[in-house]
Amino acid sequence: MSARPLNSSLPPESATLATVSPDVSPSNTPPSNPPPSSSPAPTMEPVPQGPVIVKWTRRTLVAVSILNLLAVLTLLVLLCFVSEQWWFSLALSYLPRAPFLLPSLFLTAAALLLRRRWVWVNLFSLMLVAGPIMGLRVPWAAWVGPSTGETLTVVTCNIRSGKQDLTKIARELDEISPDVVILQEASYGFKELLPLLEGWSGVHRGEYLVASRYPVKLRDICRVDAFQRATAILCEIEGPTGPFLVCDVHLTTARHGLTHLRVDSPLTGAGVAQLDVRQDLRERESLETRAFASQQGFKVPLLAVGDFNVPTSSSLFQKYWHDLGSAFDAAGFGYGYTSPCSDHRRWPDNTPWLRIDHILFSSQWDVERCWIGRTDGSDHRLVAARLRLNAPR
């Protein structure tokens, strides 16, 4: 019997498979076409925008802070140096100044959150507005120490012919107990004040009233051609330490000229010519009234008191009244706003924004204290000052 081959018992298919690929098993053979993956193809993720926005916001804050500081410095120059010499800064001079605080307040708060190094820049802008632009006064000189001698308390007020509640002013006068009361727009309508002035000496000419516990006599009346009106009266009072002069002043308001301006005036010049005409008249009025109230030829102390219708920062005031001291500038604290107190639909009542009523004094006086009334018994708050006459030198 013949011998069979070793692989003769294998099926043909197995023999073929073993012959062709003896070393490869089906499980080790990679698939020729791998199945498609179920995961999506990788994509580019977006770059986070948060840091970019913060960086852009900080840069914007820095730029706006610088612009705001430049705007505040420009405003300071316009209000305190140019003032009534240019129609635009003239208009700014008689607007409320508190709203100019808002940009610096907002930027200071934003800098605290985003860029603390710039807080100081915005605080500086805020201090410029709250200080010189708004007219803040601190009585440094008055704190040095009062001088010796008898004091005199002087009160002035534009009573607006009694069109408001003069009983409020009467109560304030009763609290103050003044020695001299000086009124403007007092042609009539001041009967509520008469009981307080009973037994006093006084001079009443037109809208002007000067009353005192001490003897008063009229020296002269100032009549100005510019507006065809009397702008002041000059009285002499025999005070406890000797005679002195009181000039009761009421100058013409800038408001009538400003009404000619319109929103488009900066572009078209509408109303500017009319404003300039009235401004020239106001300047002539100030010149003639100041000459009338001058100490030249007088050897007695002078008080120039009343409604000047200009702030002390005004170029008009600085030009004609700078040689007299301002009682509130010397011995007042705060802003001392006196007008307007009412009749403004877009502004709170009894919240004046201008200090246009003044007690001015010659060099023979020392001011111990100056303060502003609280009530809106008139369109103007009263101004009171306690003064001391220097001993003759």
Secondary structure (3-state) at 272:
helix
The confidence score (pLDDT) of residue 37 equals 54
Question: What's the confidence (pLDDT) of residue 390?
Answer: 79
Residue 126 and residue 123: Cα distance in Å, rounded?
Answer: 5
The DSSP string of 298-319 is: --S-EEEEEE-SS-TTSHHHHH
User: Which residues contact residue 376 at a Cβ distance below 8 angstroms, ignoring those fewer than 6 apart?
Assistant: 164, 165, 168, 341, 342, 349, 350
Supply the pLDDT for residue 170: 95
pLDDT for the residue numbered 168? 95
The whole-number pLDDT of residue 300 equals 85
Question: From the first residue on, what is the mean pLDDT of each consecutive set of 10 residues in the chain (393 residues)?
Answer: 46 43 48 56 55 84 95 96 94 94 95 90 96 92 64 96 92 96 94 93 96 96 94 95 94 92 87 93 95 76 96 94 94 95 78 96 93 94 94 54
Q: Which residues pair with 232 in a beta bridge?
A: 222, 249
- For residue 24, the model assigns a pLDDT of 45
Q: How many CA atoms lie within 13 A of 125 on its CB side?
A: 27
Among residues 134, 350, 128, 158, which one has the least CA distance to residue 248?
A: 158
What distance in Å separates the CA atoms of residue 334 and residue 321, rounded to the nearest whole number? 22
Name the strand (E) or helix (H) holding 15: helix 12-20
Give the DSSP H or E segment for 24. none
Q: How far lies 91's CA from each of 210, 265, 335, in Å?
A: 33, 11, 20
Alpha-carbon 239 to chain mean position: 38
Rounded to 5°, angle at Cα 226 from 206 and 84: 110
Q: The pTM is what? A: 0.83
Strand partners, 357: 307
Main-chain phi, psi angles of 302, to 5 degrees? -125, 140
User: Torsion over CA of 246, 234, 320 and 260, rounded to 10 degrees?
Assistant: 110
